[in-house]
Protein backbone atom coordinates (compact mmCIF):
# COMPACT_ATOMS: atom_id res chain seq x y z
CA UNK A 1 0.00 0.00 0.00
CA UNK A 2 2.87 2.28 0.54
CA UNK A 3 3.81 1.90 -3.09
CA UNK A 4 0.30 2.62 -4.27
CA UNK A 5 0.18 5.65 -2.07
CA UNK A 6 3.53 6.89 -3.40
CA UNK A 7 2.42 6.31 -6.98
CA UNK A 8 -0.86 7.99 -6.34
CA UNK A 9 0.80 10.98 -4.76
CA UNK A 10 3.31 11.18 -7.62
CA UNK A 11 0.43 10.99 -10.05
CA UNK A 12 -1.40 13.78 -8.21
CA UNK A 13 1.68 15.94 -7.99
CA UNK A 14 2.43 15.24 -11.65
CA UNK A 15 -1.11 16.25 -12.61
CA UNK A 16 -0.90 19.31 -10.41
CA UNK A 17 2.44 20.26 -11.97
CA UNK A 18 1.02 19.86 -15.47
CA UNK A 19 -1.97 21.97 -14.51
CA UNK A 20 0.30 24.70 -13.12
CA UNK A 21 2.38 24.60 -16.29
CA UNK A 22 -0.75 24.88 -18.41
CA UNK A 23 -2.00 27.85 -16.38
CA UNK A 24 1.43 29.51 -16.66
CA UNK A 25 1.44 28.93 -20.43
CA UNK A 26 -2.09 30.35 -20.63
CA UNK A 27 -1.01 33.48 -18.69
CA UNK A 28 2.07 33.84 -20.90
CA UNK A 29 -0.08 33.59 -24.03
CA UNK A 30 -2.57 36.17 -22.71
CA UNK A 31 0.25 38.53 -21.78
CA UNK A 32 1.82 38.10 -25.22
CA UNK A 33 -1.55 38.79 -26.91
CA UNK A 34 -2.08 41.85 -24.72
CA UNK A 35 1.39 43.11 -25.52
CA UNK A 36 0.80 42.45 -29.24
CA UNK A 37 -2.48 44.44 -29.14
CA UNK A 38 -0.74 47.33 -27.36
CA UNK A 39 2.08 47.32 -29.90
CA UNK A 40 -0.43 47.19 -32.77
CA UNK A 41 -2.19 50.22 -31.28
CA UNK A 42 1.12 52.05 -31.01
CA UNK A 43 1.95 51.09 -34.59
CA UNK A 44 -1.43 52.46 -35.80
CA UNK A 45 -0.85 55.69 -33.87
CA UNK A 46 2.65 55.99 -35.29
CA UNK A 47 1.30 55.40 -38.81
CA UNK A 48 -1.35 58.09 -38.36
CA UNK A 49 1.34 60.44 -37.06
CA UNK A 50 3.62 59.57 -39.99
CA UNK A 51 0.77 60.25 -42.44
CA UNK A 52 0.15 63.63 -40.82
CA UNK A 53 3.86 64.45 -40.92
CA UNK A 54 4.01 63.49 -44.60
CA UNK A 55 0.98 65.66 -45.40
CA UNK A 56 2.55 68.50 -43.41
CA UNK A 57 5.78 68.04 -45.38
CA UNK A 58 3.82 68.23 -48.66
CA UNK A 59 2.10 71.39 -47.50
CA UNK A 60 5.41 72.98 -46.48
CA UNK A 61 6.91 72.01 -49.86
CA UNK A 62 4.03 73.72 -51.68
CA UNK A 63 4.48 76.83 -49.52
CA UNK A 64 8.24 76.74 -50.15
CA UNK A 65 7.72 76.51 -53.91
CA UNK A 66 5.26 79.41 -53.78
CA UNK A 67 7.69 81.51 -51.73
CA UNK A 68 10.44 80.71 -54.21
CA UNK A 69 8.20 81.79 -57.10
CA UNK A 70 7.32 85.00 -55.24
CA UNK A 71 11.01 85.73 -54.65
CA UNK A 72 11.78 85.16 -58.32
CA UNK A 73 9.00 87.52 -59.37
CA UNK A 74 10.21 90.11 -56.87
CA UNK A 75 13.75 89.88 -58.31
CA UNK A 76 12.38 90.30 -61.83
CA UNK A 77 10.35 93.31 -60.68
CA UNK A 78 13.42 94.80 -59.04
CA UNK A 79 15.44 94.39 -62.24
CA UNK A 80 12.62 96.00 -64.24
CA UNK A 81 12.38 98.92 -61.80
CA UNK A 82 16.13 99.41 -61.89
CA UNK A 83 16.09 99.41 -65.68
CA UNK A 84 13.17 101.85 -65.70
CA UNK A 85 15.02 104.13 -63.27
CA UNK A 86 18.13 104.08 -65.44
CA UNK A 87 16.05 104.86 -68.54
CA UNK A 88 14.31 107.73 -66.77
CA UNK A 89 17.68 109.10 -65.64
CA UNK A 90 18.96 108.90 -69.21
CA UNK A 91 15.87 110.73 -70.48
CA UNK A 92 16.34 113.40 -67.80
CA UNK A 93 19.98 113.84 -68.88
CA UNK A 94 18.89 114.02 -72.51
CA UNK A 95 16.24 116.64 -71.71
CA UNK A 96 18.83 118.66 -69.81
CA UNK A 97 21.29 118.44 -72.69
CA UNK A 98 18.61 119.45 -75.18
CA UNK A 99 17.59 122.40 -73.03
CA UNK A 100 21.22 123.47 -72.69
CA UNK A 101 21.82 123.09 -76.41
CA UNK A 102 18.63 124.92 -77.30
CA UNK A 103 19.38 127.86 -75.07
CA UNK A 104 23.05 127.90 -76.11
CA UNK A 105 22.28 127.59 -79.85
CA UNK A 106 19.72 130.37 -79.87
CA UNK A 107 22.05 132.74 -78.05
CA UNK A 108 25.03 131.81 -80.18
CA UNK A 109 23.12 131.97 -83.45
CA UNK A 110 21.63 135.34 -82.55
CA UNK A 111 25.01 136.65 -81.49
CA UNK A 112 26.63 135.39 -84.67
CA UNK A 113 23.89 136.87 -86.85
CA UNK A 114 24.19 140.20 -85.10
CA UNK A 115 27.96 140.08 -85.35
CA UNK A 116 27.81 139.24 -89.02
CA UNK A 117 25.35 141.99 -89.84
CA UNK A 118 27.19 144.59 -87.80
CA UNK A 119 30.59 143.66 -89.10
CA UNK A 120 29.54 144.43 -92.62
CA UNK A 121 29.18 140.89 -93.89
CA UNK A 122 32.17 139.32 -92.17
CA UNK A 123 31.98 135.59 -91.99
CA UNK A 124 31.48 134.12 -88.51
CA UNK A 125 31.47 130.41 -87.69
CA UNK A 126 28.10 128.63 -87.36
CA UNK A 127 27.68 126.52 -84.23
CA UNK A 128 25.75 123.24 -84.46
CA UNK A 129 23.38 121.84 -81.80
CA UNK A 130 26.35 120.36 -79.94
CA UNK A 131 28.06 123.72 -79.65
CA UNK A 132 30.70 122.93 -82.28
CA UNK A 133 31.63 125.38 -85.03
CA UNK A 134 30.61 123.91 -88.38
CA UNK A 135 31.13 126.60 -90.95
CA UNK A 136 30.51 130.25 -91.57
CA UNK A 137 27.42 132.39 -91.65
CA UNK A 138 26.93 134.20 -94.97
CA UNK A 139 25.03 137.46 -95.04
CA UNK A 140 22.63 137.26 -97.96
CA UNK A 141 20.54 140.32 -97.16
CA UNK A 142 22.51 142.65 -99.39
pTM: 0.44
Asked if 131 and 101 touch (Cβ cutoff 8 Å), the reply is yes
Q: What is the pLDDT along the chain (142 residues), one digit of tens a residue?
A: 555 555 556 566 778 889 999 999 999 999 999 999 999 999 999 999 999 999 999 999 999 999 999 999 999 999 999 999 999 999 999 999 999 988 876 555 555 555 555 555 555 666 777 777 776 656 667 5
Q: What are the structural domain ranges in the chain?
A: 2-106
Within a 13 Å sphere around the CA of 11, how many CA atoms are in the beta-carbon half? 6
Amino acid sequence: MAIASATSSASVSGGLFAQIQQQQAQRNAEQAESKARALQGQARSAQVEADRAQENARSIKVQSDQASDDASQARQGLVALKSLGETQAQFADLREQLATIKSGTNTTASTNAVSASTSGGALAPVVNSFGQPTGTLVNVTA
